[in-house]
């Protein structure tokens, strides 16, 4: 099992994302004899072994179903145990492409937090890249370390460190992680309360040969102010701030209506109203209430006509009546887009900047 490489068939020990409903995805590690209990029934791990990733699985008594999905950082972000605020895919994907993170990139990240972004970085940089991630909160560091090991993230080195006070240098970097005698990061991502205190420490760990990009993720504009100042003081250039506001766009068909439809609709409402009065009167007549019958009859000479009007089902494009499905033939439709409410993303300001190594003299 791996976040890096796809495989087809589920085996014991694999991490599987059980897609239970739109808002409920549960990561499970397949173990013989265990079962997944959900509100839509329970699912035996033994039955999952041998199934294909992506397959639908029926509940034990044929009630309900789930889908068994292959691990991906995107699914992990949606289902991970939250220890902190996290970076969502809307932001991480933008940052990744803007900083040109590709296979083989060397990334510095602080703090690790719930390791949501760490998973995305690790997958994108692949086997040849290296991720140096730092976390100063010990329980969080230990949790993240365990997860990264369980998820086989061999390209990632997590360090327990306060980067704002102690910087990013690592004393005994494992051999496979060293480049140019150290960390030599090409991309930096800071999701810290005070990134401006960490920025001065970066010079010692960033690449001295490649153009280095940085992104600082901060929820308040005051933090951005301080970050920009620190970046300028440290010689970073091309400083720009961006905010990603995620929205879902839906393509729909909207019925084209004209005045004739409005008139038809009003007539239809009136005719239904009259039909209701007529039915009531009929019921009363049946019950022998002659007096009411006479009173209601006076001035109402169009009942028979209305009855005729109401015998057909009649089409009503504006409300109740025959059910019309979007795109039904016989009506005119135009294609429109509809904006849904904002989707979940950790709304923060993203401050980008770059550093170009000075030629050695
Ligand atoms: N980006 C992470 C993710 O996607 O899961 C979330 C990061 S969380 C908002 C910020 C983390 O930074 C916290 O876990 C916190 O303990 C850590 N942190 C704060 N100050 C730090 C420092 N000076 N050095 C290292 N880690 C620090």
Report the C-alpha gap between 296 and 293 in whole angstroms: 5
> C-alpha distances in angstroms, 2 versus 68, 111, 128, 240?
15, 24, 15, 35
Residue 291: pLDDT band with limits 50, 70, 90? very low
Q: Are residues 173 and 151 in the same domain?
A: yes
Q: Closest Cα to atom 22, ligand 1: which residue?
A: 162
**Ligand 1 atom closest to Cα of 197?**
23
Residue 320: pLDDT band with limits 50, 70, 90? low
Q: Are residues 153 and 241 in the same domain?
A: yes
Cβ proximity of 205 and 108 under 8 Å: yes
Q: Closest Cα to atom 8, ligand 1: which residue?
A: 113
The ipTM value here is: 0.99
Report the C-alpha gap between 311 and 43 in whole angstroms: 53
Nearest to 180 by CA among 331, 58, 30, 360: 360
Q: Closest Cα to atom 7, ligand 1: which residue?
A: 113
Report the C-alpha gap between 177 and 96 in whole angstroms: 21
Q: Considering the domain boundaries, does residue 255 fall inside one?
A: no
pLDDT per residue over 188-204, tens digit each?
999 999 999 999 999 99
Residue 345: pLDDT band with limits 50, 70, 90? low
pLDDT number for residue 162: 98
**Ligand 1 atom closest to Cα of 80?**
5
Q: Are residues 57 and 113 in the same domain?
A: no
pLDDT per residue over 306-317, tens digit each?
333 333 445 555
Which domain does 144 fall in, by range?
A: 75-246+345-355
295 pLDDT higher than 50: no
Q: Are residues 209 and 61 in the same domain?
A: no
What does the pLDDT average to over 142-163?
97
Which among 78, 90, 136 is the best mutation to test ligand 1's pocket, defined by most ligand atoms within 8 Å of the CB? 136
Site residues for ligand 1, CB cut-off 6 Å = 84-87, 110-111, 113-117, 134-137, 140, 162-164, 191-193
Contacts of 319 (CB under 8 A, 6+ apart): 265, 269
β-partners of residue 109 are 133, 189
Collapsing DSSP to helix, strand or coil, 221 comes out as helix
Q: Which of 115-124, 175-184, 240-249 has the lowest mean pLDDT?
A: 240-249
Q: Are residues 43 and 138 in the same domain?
A: no
Report the C-alpha gap between 75 and 56 in whole angstroms: 17
pLDDT per residue over 223-270, tens digit each?
999 999 999 999 999 999 999 887 777 788 888 888 888 888 888 888
Q: Considering the domain boundaries, does residue 142 fall inside one?
A: yes
Give the domain CATH number at 34: 3.10.330.20
β-partners of residue 250 are 338
- Whole-structure pTM value: 0.77
């Amino acid at each position: 099992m791996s976040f890096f490489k796809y495989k087809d068939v589920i085996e014991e020990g694999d991490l599987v994302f059980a897609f239970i409903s739109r808002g409920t995805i549960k990561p499970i590690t397949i173990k013989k004899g265990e079962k997944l209990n959900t509100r839509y029934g329970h699912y035996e791990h033994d039955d999952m072994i041998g199934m294909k990733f992506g397959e639908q699985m029926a509940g034990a008594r044929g009630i309900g179903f789930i889908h068994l999905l292959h691990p991906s950082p995107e699914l992990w972000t949606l289902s991970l145990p939250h220890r902190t605020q996290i970076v969502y895919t809307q932001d991480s994907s933008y940052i990744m492409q803007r900083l040109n993170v590709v296979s083989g990139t060397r990334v510095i990240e602080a703090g690790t937090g719930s390791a949501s972004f760490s998973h995305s970085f690790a997958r994108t940089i692949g086997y040849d890249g290296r991720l140096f991630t730092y976390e100063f909160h010990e329980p969080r560091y230990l949790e993240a370390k365990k997860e990264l090991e369980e998820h086989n993230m061999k390209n990632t080195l997590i360090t327990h460190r306060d980067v704002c006070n102690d910087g990013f240098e690592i004393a005994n970097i494992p051999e496979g992680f060293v480049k140019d005698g150290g960390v030599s990061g090409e991309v930096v991502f800071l999701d810290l309360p005070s990134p401006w205190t960490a920025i001065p420490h970066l010079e010692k760990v960033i690449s001295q040969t490649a153009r280095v990009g940085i992104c600082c993720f901060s929820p308040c504009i005051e933090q951005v102010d301080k970050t920009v100042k620190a970046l300028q003081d440290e010689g970073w250039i091309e400083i720009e701030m961006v905010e990603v506001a995620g929205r879902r766009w839906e393509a729909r068909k909207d019925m084209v209506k004209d005045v004739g439809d409005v008139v038809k609709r009003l007539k239809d409402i009136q005719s239904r109203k009259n039909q209701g009065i007529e039915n009531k009167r009929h019921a009363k007549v049946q019950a022998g209430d002659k007096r009411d019958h006479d009173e209601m009859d006076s001035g109402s000479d169009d009942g028979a006509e209305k009855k005729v009007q109401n015998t057909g089902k009649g089409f009503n494009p504006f409300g109740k009546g025959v059910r019309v499905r979007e795109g039904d033939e016989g009506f005119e439709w135009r294609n429109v887009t509809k904006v849904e409410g904002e989707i979940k993303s950790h709304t923060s300001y993203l401050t980008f900047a770059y550093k170009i190594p000075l030629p050695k003299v």
